């Protein structure tokens, strides 16, 4: 059954861009197409440059607007813009879409038994890094480092040790095999917590596979460079590592008098939105305006 993707902080993110007629907007993380569709509804004359490294999402294109889709990571934003082209707004939604989590078959979710891929590429080649490579070939120290560094998982060393011991017996090939290893590596009280015990490890491996934090840093720089003076950037993040990168980038631009912060504290989902879409609970929206 196809899941329905609910775009988080939809109105707040687009309101923050303060778009006018005939604006050019970059939707740097097209995903389910929710932000582009709403921009299109509000401003039919807008030109939308949409990017997503997952080629399968291009089918979500809204047909009533001028949307140009590029199968590209936002870290390569400069490659898809015309020479010296400047835009009025840019939006980054850093969360995985429901479709990627539940229907991609690439192992993003620990709740489905799927091949360990976790790559944003719909059709990875043998040259592309996957979660299968990470869990079966990386050293115990490297595994512990990424699970702690990217997942902020306090049992990272025990989980890394469990992974290495398990792969010495048999290659780890599926999400459920990895979940079972994690389950055996953490204490019982941890497994009864509010957050699923595999969440942080899966997050960490996914970030490593897709080089997400470095890509974000590059994307923010190139996105800001592409903005016109007076243009705005909306970024929705879902975990502390992402939000920290966004916050530091915004503060740096403001301290150099290149931009001003539209909201000093992140905008969060309302109680009603959280009730209707629990995934919005961790979302944080930060908005920046370029002033020179």
Q: What is the Cα–Cα distance from 106 to 101, expressed in whole angstroms?
A: 8
219 is in an annotated binding site: no
Q: Give me the residue label for tokens 């993110």.
A: 13
Q: What is the Cα–Cα distance from 147 to 207, expressed in whole angstroms?
A: 10
Q: What is the Cα–Cα distance from 105 to 177, expressed in whole angstroms?
A: 15
Go through 216-232 and write b for each residue having 16 or more CB atoms within 10 A of its CB, e for each that does not.
Answer: bebbbebbbebbeeebb
Q: What is the Cα–Cα distance from 246 to 251, expressed in whole angstroms?
A: 9
Angle separating helix axes 156-169 and 175-185, nearest 10 degrees = 130
100 is in an annotated binding site: yes
Q: Give me the residue label for tokens 């923010």.
A: 220
Q: Which two tokens stand for residue 242?
A: 């992402």
52 is in an annotated binding site: yes
35 is in an annotated binding site: yes
Query: Of 292, 193, 234, 254, which Cα lies nearest the Cα of 94?
Result: 234
133 is in an annotated binding site: no
33 is in an annotated binding site: yes
Per the annotation, binding residues for S-adenosyl-L-methionine are 33-35, 52, 74, 93, 100
Per the annotation, binding residues are 33-35, 52, 74, 93, 100
């Amino acid at each position: 059954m196809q899941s329905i993707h609910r775009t988080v902080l939809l109105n707040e993110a687009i309101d923050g861009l303060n778009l006018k007629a005939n604006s050019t907007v970059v939707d740097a993380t097209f995903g389910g197409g929710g932000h582009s569709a709403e921009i299109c509804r509000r401003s039919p004359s807008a030109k939308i440059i949409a990017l997503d490294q997952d080629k399968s999402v291009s089918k979500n294109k809204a047909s009533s607007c001028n949307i140009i889709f590029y199968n590209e990571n936002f870290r390569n934003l400069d490659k898809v813009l015309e020479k010296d082209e400047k835009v009025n707004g840019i939006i980054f939604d850093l969360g995985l879409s429901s479709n990627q989590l539940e229907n991609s078959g690439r192992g993003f979710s620990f709740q489905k038994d799927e091949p360990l891929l976790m790559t944003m590429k719909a059709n990875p080649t043998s040259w592309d890094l996957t979660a299968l490579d990470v869990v079966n070939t990386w050293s115990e120290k490297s595994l512990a480092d990424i699970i702690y560094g990217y997942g902020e998982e306090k049992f990272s060393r025990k989980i890394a040790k469990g992974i290495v011991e398990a792969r010495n017996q048999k290659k780890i090939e599926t999400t459920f095999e990895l979940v079972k290893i994690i389950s055996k590596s953490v204490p019982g009280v941890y497994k009864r917590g509010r957050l699923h015990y595999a969440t942080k490890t899966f997050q960490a491996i996914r970030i490593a596979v897709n080089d997400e934090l470095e890509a974000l840093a590059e994307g923010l720089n190139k996105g800001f460079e592409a903005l016109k003076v007076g243009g705005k950037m909306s970024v929705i993040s879902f975990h502390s590592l992402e939000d920290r990168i966004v916050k530091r980038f915004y503060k740096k631009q403001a301290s150099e008098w290149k931009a001003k912060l539209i909201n000093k504290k992140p905008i969060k989902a309302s109680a009603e939105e959280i009730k209707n879409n629990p995934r919005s609970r961790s979302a944080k929206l930060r908005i920046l305006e370029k002033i020179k």
